[in-house]
Amino acid sequence: MKTQTKAYFWVPSLYLGESLPFSAVMMVSIIMFKELGLSDAQITLYTGWLGLPWVIKPIWSPIIDNLKTKRWWIITMQFVMGVALGLVALTIPTSFWLQGSLALFMLLAFSSATHDISADGFYIIGLEDKEQELYVGVRNTFYRIGMVIGQGGLISLAGLMQNGTFGAAVQSVASSWMVVFFILGGLMLLLGLWHSFILPKVETPLHDKFEFKEQMLEFVETLKVFISKPFIISSIFFILLFRLPEGLLTKIVPLFLTRSVPEGGLGMSDEVYGLVYGTLGVIGLLLGGIIGGWLVSRYGLKKMLWPLVLCITLPDVVYVYLSYFNDASLWLIGTCICIEQIGYGLGFAAYTLYLVTFSRGERSTAVFSICTAFQYFGGAMLPGMVSGLISDSVGYFQFFLIVMGFCLITFAVTACIHVEENIK
- Convert the pLDDT of each residue in 401-412 to its tens digit: 999 999 999 999
Listing DSSP states for 37-49 in one string gives T--HHHHHHHHHH
The HSE-up count of residue 197 (CA atoms within 13 Å, CB side) is 6
**What are 30-53's pLDDT values in tens digits?**
999 999 989 999 999 999 899 889
Between 357 and 5, the more confident residue is 357
Sketch out the chain's domains with CATH numbers: 1-210 (1.20.1250.20), 211-424 (1.20.1250.20)
Please compute the mean of the pLDDT values over residues 339-348 and round it to a whole number: 90
The whole-angstrom separation of Cα 103 and Cα 322 is: 35
* pLDDT classification of 388: cutoffs 50, 70, 90: very high
**What are 307-323's pLDDT values in tens digits?**
999 999 999 999 999 99
| Spatial contact of 315 and 340, defined as CB atoms under 8 Å apart | yes
Sorted by sequence, the CB contacts under 8 Å of residue 137 that are 6+ apart come out as 290
User: What one-letter code names the amino acid at 63?
Assistant: I
Q: What is the dihedral of CA 296, 297, 303, 306, to 10 degrees?
A: 0
Between 169 and 243, the more confident residue is 243
Looking at residue 279, the DSSP 8-state letter turns out to be I
Per-residue H/E/C for 169-182: HHCCHHHHHHHHHH
Q: First CA to last CA across the chain, in angstroms?
A: 31
Q: Rounded to the nearest 5°, which phi and psi values hold at 292?
A: -60, -40
pLDDT at 4 over 70: no
Q: Which of 375, 377, 370 is nearest to 61 (CA)?
A: 370
For the entire predicted model, the pTM comes to 0.85
